[in-house]
């Protein structure tokens, strides 16, 4: 599957409270950037992952998040996918650790 415009719009809208975001399509998915820093990706299947490490990675894992391959990206909890404030709060925490 290749991401469509609706997938990209969903992701950028979900994190819109971060401010200016840019995206770049890669390998059927895309990376999301805030101020030039990759903080998330969307897989070609349309699943969103945050780039996290340390305590935040463990916290997400405890909430049932799955790791994207063997990379430092963890899926967003379902609740965050339905609540832009929660998604943005997680993204801010992730960005603070990058």
Summarize pLDDT for 51-75 with one digit per residue, the tens.
Answer: 998 999 999 999 999 999 999 999 9
| Phi/psi at 87 (5° precision) | -60, -45
| Domain 5-96: CATH class, spelled out | alpha beta
What tokens appear for 30 in the block?
Answer: 């895309």
25 - beta bridge partners? 30
Residue among 63, 64, 49 at smallest CA distance from 94: 49
Supply the pLDDT for residue 49: 98
Percent of the chain with pLDDT over 90: 89
As a whole number of angstroms, the distance between CA 57 and CA 67 comes to 9
Cα–Cα distance for residue pair 63/71, rounded to 1 Å:
18
pLDDT confidence bin for 2, thresholds 50/70/90: confident
Strands (E) in 5-83, as ranges, are: 21-26, 29-34, 37-42, 48-51, 73-75
User: What is the spatial distance between Cα 81 and Cα 65, in angstroms, rounded to a whole number?
Assistant: 12
Query: With 80 as the cut, is the pLDDT of residue 1 above it?
Result: no
pLDDT at site 98: 85
């Amino acid at each position: 599957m290749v991401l469509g415009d609706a997938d990209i719009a969903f992701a950028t809208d979900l994190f819109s409270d971060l401010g200016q975001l840019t995206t770049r399509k890669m390998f059927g998915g895309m990376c999301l950037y805030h101020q030039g820093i990759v903080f998330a990706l969307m897989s070609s299947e349309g699943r969103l992952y945050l780039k996290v490490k340390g305590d935040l990675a463990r916290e997400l894992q405890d909430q049932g998040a799955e790791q994207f391959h063997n990379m430092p990206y963890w899926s967003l909890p379902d609740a965050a996918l339905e609540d832009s404030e929660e998604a943005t709060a997680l993204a801010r925490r992730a960005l603070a650790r990058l």
